[in-house]
Amino acid sequence: MFNNVEFAKNKAGKLKPQSQSSHQPFLITSLDIIDASPVGRLSVTCTTVSCYNSIAIESPEPELHLIEGSSLRLKYKLSTEERKLHFYKNNNYIAETKNITKEKSGVLNVLTIKSVTPEDKGLYYAAFFNLRSKVTKLTVQAMFTSDFDPIFCIEGDELQLKCSVYADNIGVKWLKNKTEIKENEHISIYWDGCNHLLTFKSAQMNDSGLYSIVAGSVQKQLSVTIQALFKQQLQSKTIMEGLGVIFECEIEKQYPVEWFKDERKVHDSSNITIDAPKERVYRLTILKTTLENKGKYEIKINNVTSGADLDVKEIPDAIKEMSEHDRIMFLKAAKNGTAVRYNIRIILVGKEGVGKTSLLRRLMSEEIEGVKSTDGINIEVKNCKIDLHTKEWIFTKGNKSPLREYPSDQYADCGFWDFAGQKEFYATHQTFLSRNAIYLLVVDVSEDFEMNTFENMIENQYDKNGEYIDFWLDNIHCYTVNNTDESMKSNLLNPPVIIIGTGMDKVEDTGKTKKSFEIYINKLLRQHPKRKHLRKLLFLSNTKPSEYKKEFQTLRNDIFERAKEIPKWGDNLPTRWICLEKEIDRLIDNKEFVISYDMAKGLASKCSFSLEEVNLELDSFLKYEHEIGNLIFFDDIKSYIILEPKWLVDVFKCFVAPFQFQSQFINMPEWSLLQSSGHLSKMLIKKLFTKVQVLNLTEKEALALEKRNEQKTRALQILKEKKAFALEERNEHKTLAMQILKEKKAFALKIMEKFDIIVKPITTANNEEYYMPCMMEATEFNQILETFNVRNNKCSRTSWFGLQFNFLPPAFFNHILVTFLKKYSLSTVREHTLAIYRGIGVFNLETSNCLKLVVCLSENSVAMQVWQFKKGDGICYHENRKYLTQIVGFLCQKYRINIPYQCFLKCPNGTHHDIAERIYLNDVSKTNENYCSEHANHTLDELRRFWFKVCIKNLRK
């Protein structure tokens, strides 16, 4: 029995002896509670007690001091092998973990902690029931004496990772993603005694992550977060040349900055401002971009760079050549975005019946059965698309989607204009020719192509192929445009011309024909600059093509390649302008060939043209479209816009009728009056208009046209809703439609007037009478001399003064003559008939009618002379001479054609059209002693005194 043994209530609620009076181990197998008082003390009776007098525990040292990371082995020896010890730390049972193992081997009980940490410090012992070992006090020295709090750093700033170890002889390794970090130009590793430092000179975004710091066998982790410096990066921009652009970025914290363009530092200049930062927002502004501003822009802040590209789109050439106001309107529209679009205009020219229409059909993959030479003046327009990447040509056939639905940045718009070859049309062709086109000059090589040059143009003698080639190349050369880099390199001129020799099926020896045609073209063009337009000679047969029609595919490829040489290829336009172009295409698809300005305004609003300035922007748009040949618009006759040249051709062809088609006018006495006097009577105008289909609709057609054209739903709605008033409304509507037709007729006349096809000479009393000199029959010059009795002794003639052009397009003379008609009063013959003839006008220089100025067209020349029916000695007509040269200068500017000329004089009785005796004013070999070889009695001074006040020698200087 044991008395006075104290028990304490252990955690598990069991009673355990607290202290023992004897050191003998004992085992209580049953315990009877005898008396429960006093509180906290129990009187117990032990019924069975077993004692293990022989059991003892041998303990490790009472104190141990370890370094973090080293291992701890506590070895306890139990005097019996049969029993196993349990281990405790700070009175808590120690369970096994990866790091903690317990082993028993015979009497040996070992507790192992593989790698100790400071958390392992405490009091350790082993126990077997209430038998306990001695306590071992473990202390652990931490390897790292610093904390490892997460680090936040801004990109570009210096990033430092620090740690301290407990002793100065301990090495530290820095790792990221299990790879040891080594020193390099951006990273330095440093230690000073116990302190270690890893430094990144400029933190990068990819420096974020979890770092490991290893000392001995201890590894710590450190989280690093790099915050992007730029809250808002620079954005790449595309801008139209002339517009301003701002590069802007926002950063986390304010730093000094530097801007670069293509790696060169950018400084403030008159066109570039670099703003001081506002609320961490940095800005570089280019006030007005030019093509030189294209490039890569970068801002460097604290070693971090944000970059963006600036693409400056070139203003289309056509816009550059327009007024300042139009350029401003264009740029305003471009601010809302631009897009690129590719247009190709192909103009087929050549003599009638050479196969232009057939060739066009072949190019469009159509059959040519039933193609006949066109009756009179005509124009056929066809469109297709070309895939810019695959170069595939897409035509609308069957149910395919309309061409306008192909995206304009991936497909080129290809428009063909096929002119009928009748030469009378040449009076008006300038309206349709464009500087931005590819010309297919079609020649039937089976015909005789020997050349006579186009002598006596006025008398309609263009009969040889060569004359046509020469004529068209001269005309096209007038439209020479600025060249692209590409064409400049190859010393070529735009617009490009491809000569297509058709009719190869009709020749016997194709090789010989090709060869002689090539030799012929070479001879024809010699060194003339017009030859630089020529890109290729292609020979084919429209009627008997090769098996796979390869020649037409070759031509398609050539067209596509040539298109790229034209300056307007890939023009960037405001997106809303492209939208309006598509709206116009839609109208053309619906056969609307002419629309009112109001209707165009409606479409422009639909395409988001600026509301306040819709008229101004629309005008600029229309001028541009006119310039590139997409439509016909005149700033001074705005009421209508011609969307398809066919409409204008229809009008022109009823007035400017080729000779062989004039039989249709046989029943019109007014037509013969026109031919003899040039007078275009009101009755004739009315009759001619009846032949223009679009201006001569039935009431029903007019009504339908009106409904479509103007989209005036008002009338329609009323018709629908108020059937009772239907009749009345219809009548009203009909009147409106007729009114529109009347307006269109007036517009057509104005256009013809604008093109100098018809003119109101100032002579006519009420100034309402039109004349059309180009349709008059030719009159012999001698006959005119007779009519005015010029050979009479009372009349003296001045010398001729004239301009000799390299090439004078017939329409150009028309313009000159009409300009004279607007300034000078025409002489009259037999009081009523105006002295106007085909290519000739006789004007009164003063009210007494004693001085008459005659202006004549001859081959490539304009010449004038004054008939003096009074003593005109000493009068100098230098003002009239200047007027002629001024007109030519003005017309060249107006029609943007470049036709060089030289001035000449000729003796009074000489024939103005004969080149032989002309004395050219820039020919210094001629001296005053030169006599006219035709009459051998006038000196140069005698010839010039009529036209020049200053000495001719001075003039040459």
Ligand X SMILES: Nc1nc2c(ncn2[C@@H]2O[C@H](COP(=O)(O)OP(=O)(O)OP(=O)(O)O)[C@@H](O)[C@H]2O)c(=O)[nH]1
Q: Which of 200/425 has CB closer to ligand X?
A: 425
* 447 touches ligand X by CB under 6 A: no
Q: Which of 440/588 has CB closer to ligand X?
A: 440
Helix or strand holding residue 477 (H, E): helix 465-477
Q: Give CA–CA dist 522/509, Å, rounded.
A: 20
Q: CB within 8 A of 831, min separation 6: which ones? A: none
Q: How far is the CB of 372 from ligand X (least distance, A)?
A: 6
Q: How far is the CB of 370 from ligand X (least distance, A)?
A: 9
Q: Which residues in the 93-122 window bind ligand X by CB under 6 A? A: none
Instruction: Tell me which of 69, 156, 421, 496 binds ligand X, using CB under 6 A.
Output: 421
Q: Which of 437/440 has CB closer to ligand X?
A: 440
Instruction: Tell me which of 60, 316, 466, 503 binds ligand X, using CB under 6 A.
Output: 503
Q: Give CA–CA dist 575/602, Å, rounded.
A: 17
Q: Which of 356/576 has CB closer to ligand X?
A: 356
Residues contacting ligand X: total by CB under 6 A: 20
* 341 three-class SS: strand
* 917 touches ligand X by CB under 6 A: no
Q: How far is the CB of 502 from ligand X (least distance, A)?
A: 4
> For 296-355, where are the alpha helices, taking DSSP H only?
317-320, 324-334
Q: Give CA–CA dist 235/297, Å, rounded.
A: 10
Q: Which of 440/473 has CB closer to ligand X?
A: 440
* Pair of tokens at residue 332: 């305003």
Instruction: Tell me which of 156, 355, 495, 629 binds ligand X, using CB under 6 A.
Output: 355
Q: Give CA–CA dist 694/704, Å, rounded.
A: 12
Which burial class, exposed, middle or buried, applies to 821 when counting CB atoms under 10 A from its CB (0-12, 13-18, 19+)?
A: buried
Q: Which of 43/460 has CB closer to ligand X?
A: 460
Q: Which residues in the 145-174 window bind ligand X by CB under 6 A? A: none
Q: How far is the CB of 438 from ligand X (least distance, A)?
A: 17
Q: What angle do CA 536, 537, 541 make, to 5 degrees?
A: 135
Q: How far is the CB of 415 from ligand X (least distance, A)?
A: 17
Q: Which of 356/646 has CB closer to ligand X?
A: 356
Q: How far is the CB of 540 from ligand X (least distance, A)?
A: 7
Q: Give CA–CA dist 758/913, Å, rounded.
A: 25
Instruction: Tell me which of 358, 480, 487, 865 binds ligand X, using CB under 6 A.
Output: 358
Q: Give CA–CA dist 251/677, Å, rounded.
A: 82
Sheet order of strands, 100-105 included: 57-58, 72-78, 108-113, 100-105
* 803 touches ligand X by CB under 6 A: no
Q: Which residues in the 524-583 window bind ligand X by CB under 6 A? A: 541-543
Pick the closest to residue 270 from 255, 290, 250 (CA basis). 290
Q: How far is the CB of 671 from ligand X (least distance, A)?
A: 23
Q: Which of 164/374 has CB closer to ligand X?
A: 374
Please name every residue paired with 257 in a beta bridge, in sequence order, or none if there are none.
301
Residue 131 CA: distances (Å) to CA of 30, 62, 78, 134: 18, 17, 10, 10
Residues 178 and 249: beta-carbon distance below 8 Å: no
- The backbone torsions φ and ψ at residue 83, rounded to the nearest 5 degrees and listed phi first, read -110, 160
Which residue stretch of 356-364, 459-467, 775-783, 884-892 sits at the interface with ligand X (rule: CB under 6 A)?
356-364
Q: Which of 156/355 has CB closer to ligand X?
A: 355
* 514 touches ligand X by CB under 6 A: no
* Pair of tokens at residue 327: 């350029």
* 469 touches ligand X by CB under 6 A: no
* 285 touches ligand X by CB under 6 A: no
Q: Give CA–CA dist 236/311, Å, rounded.
A: 8
Q: Which of 502/620 has CB closer to ligand X?
A: 502
**Going residue by residue from 709 to 748, which x/- string records binding to ligand X, judged by CB under 6 A?**
----------------------------------------
Q: How far is the CB of 377 from ligand X (least distance, A)?
A: 10
* 356 touches ligand X by CB under 6 A: yes
* 357 touches ligand X by CB under 6 A: yes
Which residue stretch of 208-216, 316-324, 365-373, 947-955 sits at the interface with ligand X (rule: CB under 6 A)?
365-373
Alpha-carbon Rg of the chain, whole angstroms? Answer: 51
Instruction: Tell me which of 258, 409, 505, 941 binds ligand X, using CB under 6 A.
Output: 505
AA identity, residue 601: K
Can you state the angle between helices 465-477 and 510-525, rounded to 10 degrees?
Answer: 50
* 374 touches ligand X by CB under 6 A: yes
Q: How far is the CB of 542 from ligand X (least distance, A)?
A: 3
Place of tokens 């029916």: 869
> For 678-725, where are the alpha helices, taking DSSP H only?
682-689, 699-710, 713-721
828-831 — which CB contacts under 8 Å span 24+ positions? 828/763, 829/787, 829/788
Q: CB within 8 A of 160, min separation 6: which ones? A: 197, 198, 199, 200
* 429 touches ligand X by CB under 6 A: no
Q: Which of 422/677 has CB closer to ligand X?
A: 422
Which residue stretch of 120-128, 172-180, 350-358, 908-916 sits at the interface with ligand X (rule: CB under 6 A)?
350-358
* 367 touches ligand X by CB under 6 A: no
Residue nearest to ligand X (CB): 355
Q: How far is the CB of 351 from ligand X (least distance, A)?
A: 7
Q: Give CA–CA dist 497/559, Å, rounded.
A: 10
Residue 748 CA from chain centroid, whole number: 34
Q: Which of 373/696 has CB closer to ligand X?
A: 373
* 343 touches ligand X by CB under 6 A: no
* 502 touches ligand X by CB under 6 A: yes
Which residue stretch of 348-356, 395-403, 627-635, 809-817 sits at the interface with ligand X (rule: CB under 6 A)?
348-356
Residues of this chain that bind ligand X (CB under 6 A): 352-358, 371-374, 420-421, 502-503, 505-506, 541-543
